[in-house]
Amino acid sequence: MSDRAFSRKRPRWLIWVPSLLAVVLIAGAGVLAWQVSSGSVGRDAPPEVAEAVTQDGYSRFSEDGVTYIEDSLQARIDLSEPEPDASELGLPANGDTVVEANGFSVSVGLYVGEDSIRIPTSSMTLTTEDGRLVGLSLAASSGGYQAQSAILDAVAERFGLDRGALDLDAAVADDVRTGASAEYSFGPGTDFGRPTTATVSVSGAGGSALTVDVDFSS
């Protein structure tokens, strides 16, 4: 037998196999890490849309409905009728139902027919009495007064809120500078569905907050 060394050439594509396997493993590890950090591992599958919304496509606030809102970060609420049936919305007959955004921002769409306004919201409270929805309070999520002011402008235009002659920017700036606490309410406006009021609350150096309150009782 000859002492001459010889070798076999491997197909060129085999050279890339280890690298491809490494890429797949790294990608898989990244997906798993994201699922763990986001809490999706070990969680139940999200509810079916049909279980989380009404026949008209508006949000329900049952357990499935709230889970769907938290997962999608969106909600749809109809303002066209007074005192809607609480059970159809997945709400208890009496009491307050609070939906928290848990550090995120839920885009809450308020609808009258095809028209709507969307309000970025950190939490919402729905109040029911005698089996009817009578009130909705939205705590606007924003980084500060300038963002709140932009939301207030949109709400005032849509609902027809009377801003009066008050220079709100100057008033809020003065309250923050002096450490004063104050509330500035506008409305109710009745140009879009239900009567709606917007309130800017100032807690001195703690900054400001904007709430939008919808009255379903009239």
Least confident segment among 107-116, 134-143, 190-199: 134-143
Helix (H) or strand (E) holding 135, with range, is strand 132-140
DSSP 137: E
Using an 8 Å Cβ cutoff, are 94 and 126 in contact?
no
Q: Kindly state the average pLDDT of the residues 14-25.
A: 53
Tokens of 32: 């798993």
In this predicted structure, what is the pLDDT of residue 9?
A: 52
pLDDT tens digits for range 163-200: 888 899 999 999 998 999 999 999 999 999 999 999 99
Comparing 45 with 100, the larger pLDDT belongs to: 100
The pLDDT > 90 percentage for the chain reads: 66
d(CA 98, CA 124): 6
Look at residue 214 in the predicted model and tell me its pLDDT.
98
pTM, rounded to two decimals: 0.76
The mean per-residue pLDDT over the stretch 9-18 comes to: 53
State CA 185 to chain mean position distance: 23
**Contact (CB, 8 A) for 148 and 199:** no
Residue-wise pLDDT tens digits, 53-95: 998 999 999 999 999 999 999 999 999 999 999 999 999 999 9
Measured CA distances, 206 to 65, 121, 211 (Å) = 34, 19, 16
106: CB partners within 8 A, 6+ apart: 69, 70, 73, 74, 75, 99, 120, 121, 122, 124, 141
Give the model's confidence band at 22: pLDDT under 50 very low, under 70 low, under 90 confident, else very high.
low
DSSP state, 143? S
- For 32-44, what is the mean pLDDT? 40
Pairs from 194-198 (Cβ < 8 Å, separation ≥ 24):
194/79, 194/82, 194/218, 196/155, 196/159, 196/161, 197/161, 198/152, 198/155, 198/156, 198/159, 198/161
- Structure confidence at residue 36 (pLDDT): 38
**Region 41-57 average pLDDT:** 66
Q: Is the pLDDT of residue 18 over 60?
A: no
Provide the token pair at 139: 């705590």
Q: Is the pLDDT of residue 12 over 70?
A: no
Mean pLDDT of the chain: 83
Look at residue 42 and tell me whether its pLDDT is greater than 70. no
pLDDT at residue number 96: 97
Q: Which residues of 146-157 are buried (b: 16+ CB within 10 A; e: fewer)?
A: eebbebbeebbe
